[in-house]
């Protein structure tokens, strides 16, 4: 093996790389067979939730804007939030990494540490993965989880239900807007773009409280409530006066000359949760009312269709 100031994954090889990162990942009581065999085995009582997400270098993250650990937090959070958005708790993840041969081993180690730290927040474990060479760096994460009782789908919203959200909205989008203009502050929104802080516990809490529909806000609030409206066959109206715009969003809006409300309505990467609750159900802690369900099959803001983009598109 040639000596090099920066050891690359190509120099170390697949098995050396696996050895290097395996120790980063801890296992929990759900792991019956961990990584190192043809498959892992996780405890599962009755059913298992499963969701998968891809992140592509230069599209979902930029290595000059986010550290490897940031990227690890972000890709894990996207999957863990999807499990929470069923009312579930993640138990295990498998990670696929396709990376150029000149990717530094240290970058992969830091990525793994970021994933491990985010996964530890919900008590889950990384139980396996696959690594291979690719001109484009692509991360593929699949999360498994459990749910106590029936999962909360997108299709259960009913007219007169209350619409509520948990977690931050617009912070990551404001951070991305700042980075896109070459700035690095306000630091809190840049950090929110780099490492989302999804309200994981709010998912199971909504499920226990009787939420009728639940979704992860990954494409933007209006776009994702649109998914709920279509799946449930209902209309959703958002009350813009219910949004308390945080000071950093006001500051970014003012600095960039944009309406900060746009960040809240169309920004995705915070992985907030949105839910509908039957009228009269007390909202669990951390949930705030933002609108109401009616008849129809569309999403409005203060009774009117929203002008402009509603969120992120993955192709085109």
Q: Please report, in angstroms and rounded to a whole number, the separation of the first and last CA atoms in the chain.
A: 43
Residue 121 makes contact with its own copies by CB under 8 A = no
Residue 134 makes contact with its own copies by CB under 8 A = yes
Rounded Cα distance, 157 and 209, in Å: 14
* Binder among 19, 36, 250, 302 for its own copies (CB under 8 A): 36
293 in Cβ contact with 160 (< 8 Å): yes
Strand partners, 289: 164
Specify the residue, 214 or 238, whose C-beta has the smaller distance to its own copies: 214
Segment contacting its own copies by CB under 8 A, of 4-12, 162-170, 244-252, 303-311: 4-12
Residue 54 makes contact with its own copies by CB under 8 A = yes
* Binder among 3, 38, 241, 307 for its own copies (CB under 8 A): 38
Q: Would you say how long the chain is, in residues?
A: 316
How many C-beta atoms surround the C-beta of residue 251 within 10 A?
A: 17
**DSSP letters of 104-116?**
BHHHHHHHHHHHH
Residue 19 makes contact with its own copies by CB under 8 A = no
Site for its own copies in 145-174 (CB under 8 A): 145, 147, 151, 153-155
CA distances from 10 to 35, 42, 76, 98, 104 (A): 22, 31, 25, 12, 9
Residue 293 makes contact with its own copies by CB under 8 A = no
Measured from the CB of residue 30, what is the shortest distance to its own copies in angstroms?
Answer: 9
Residue 41 makes contact with its own copies by CB under 8 A = yes
Residue 234 makes contact with its own copies by CB under 8 A = no
Measured from the CB of residue 45, what is the shortest distance to its own copies in angstroms?
Answer: 7
Site string for its own copies, 70-109 (x = CB under 8 A): ------------xx-xx-x---x-xxxxx--x--------
Residue 21 makes contact with its own copies by CB under 8 A = no
Residue 4 makes contact with its own copies by CB under 8 A = no
How many C-beta atoms surround the C-beta of residue 86 within 10 A?
A: 24
Contacts of residue 186, defined as CB under 8 A and 6 or more positions apart, other chains included, come to: 174, 178, 248, 251, 252
């Amino acid at each position: 093996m040639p000596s090099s100031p920066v050891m690359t994954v190509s120099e170390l090889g697949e098995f050396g790389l696996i050895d290097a990162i395996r120790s980063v990942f801890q296992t929990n009581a759900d792991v019956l067979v961990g990584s190192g065999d043809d498959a892992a085995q996780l405890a599962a009582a009755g059913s298992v939730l499963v969701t998968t997400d891809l992140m592509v270098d230069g599209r979902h993250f930029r290595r000059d804007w986010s550290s490897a650990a940031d990227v690890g937090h972000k890709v894990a959070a996207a999957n863990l939030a999807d499990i929470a958005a069923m009312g579930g708790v993640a138990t295990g993840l498998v990670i696929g990494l396709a990376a150029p041969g000149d990717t530094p081993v240290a970058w992969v180690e830091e990525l793994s540490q970021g994933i491990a730290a985010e996964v530890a927040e919900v008590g889950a474990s990384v139980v396996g993965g696959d690594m291979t060479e690719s001109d484009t760096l692509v991360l593929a994460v699949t999360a498994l989880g459990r749910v106590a009782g029936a999962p909360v789908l997108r299709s259960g919203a009913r007219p007169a239900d209350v619409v509520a959200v948990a977690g931050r909205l617009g912070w990551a989008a404001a951070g991305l807007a700042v980075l896109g203009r070459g700035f690095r502050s306000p630091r809190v929104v840049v950090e929110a773009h780099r490492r989302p802080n999804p309200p994981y516990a709010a998912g199971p809490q909504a499920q226990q409280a009787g939420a009728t529909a639940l979704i992860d806000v990954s494409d933007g609030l209006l776009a994702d409530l649109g998914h709920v409206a279509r799946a449930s066959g209902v209309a959703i109206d958002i009350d813009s006066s219910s949004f308390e715009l945080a000071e950093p969003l006001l500051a970014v809006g003012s600095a960039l000359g944009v309406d900060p409300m746009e960040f809240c309505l169309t920004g995705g990467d915070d992985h907030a949760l949105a839910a509908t609750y039957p009228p009269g159900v007390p909202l669990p802690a951390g949930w705030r009312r933002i609108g109401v369900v009616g008849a129809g099959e569309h999403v409005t803001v203060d009774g009117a269709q929203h002008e402009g983009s509603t969120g992120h598109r993955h192709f085109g």
